Amino acid sequence: MVTNRKKILLVAGIVLLLAALACMCTDTSSLTGGTDVVPTENVATEEPVATEEPPSNSFGIVVTDSHLYRDDGSGEAGEEVDYFLPSDRKMFFEVNAEGLPAGEKTKWVFTAVETTEGNNIEVASVETGEIVAADQLTANLSLPNDWPTGTYKAEVYVGDELIYTIEYEVK
């Protein structure tokens, strides 16, 4: 009987913990309140808030660095930044890597991780085409209104494999 009581208390504790975690999350179906996000592709030139170590991949790609850029006012990558402002409606991203396989398709997936408009919301998925003999992958993301503040991530895929994640903030 003591064993069953301990099991019941353990299960009840787990249920309470899961309920508390569920209350902390906000489920929102729209990051921008119905405003379209306009993802585009572009080439940038030079370091983000934080990055994760790249996962191992079958291509043997080694990511050497990554960068964030603010719009220069003419729709091109300008000043390198550590984070974005809500008014930075166009954001530029760059990943430099060795061993990028020519001919493989690339994709960027942008997610609002924890923002004032909700958590874990996919903002956009952008296919940037096939890799040409190069050592740089770039993308940019636009929003016609201010970005919600919070943390975001940009996941970079080559083929179907995640090769790198850039974590960044809008503040």
pLDDT for res 55? 54
Q: Is 104 helix (H, G, I), strand (E, B) or coil?
A: coil
Contact between 66 and 46 (Cβ < 8 Å):
no
Residue 30 lies in a domain: no
- Choice between 100 and 30, residue whose per-residue pLDDT is larger: 100
% of residues, the chain, pLDDT over 90: 60
Number of domains in the chain: 1
Is a pLDDT exceeding 80 seen at residue 139?
Answer: yes
pLDDT for res 37? 39
Q: Is the pTM of this model over 0.75?
A: no
Contact between 164 and 97 (Cβ < 8 Å):
yes
- The whole-chain average pLDDT of the chain stands at 76
Contact between 123 and 60 (Cβ < 8 Å):
no
Is a pLDDT exceeding 90 seen at residue 16?
Answer: no
Residue 60 lies in a domain: yes
Residue 106 lies in a domain: yes
Residue 3 lies in a domain: no
Residue 108 lies in a domain: yes
pLDDT for res 59? 83
What's the CATH code of the domain at 74?
2.60.40.1930
Distance CA 47, CA 127 (A): 22
Give the pLDDT band (50/70/90) at residue 84.
very high
The mean pLDDT of 56-69, rounded to a whole number, is 89
- The domain in which residue 49 lies consists of 38-170
The DSSP secondary-structure symbol of 84 reads: B
Is a pLDDT exceeding 60 seen at residue 107?
Answer: yes
Residue 116 lies in a domain: yes
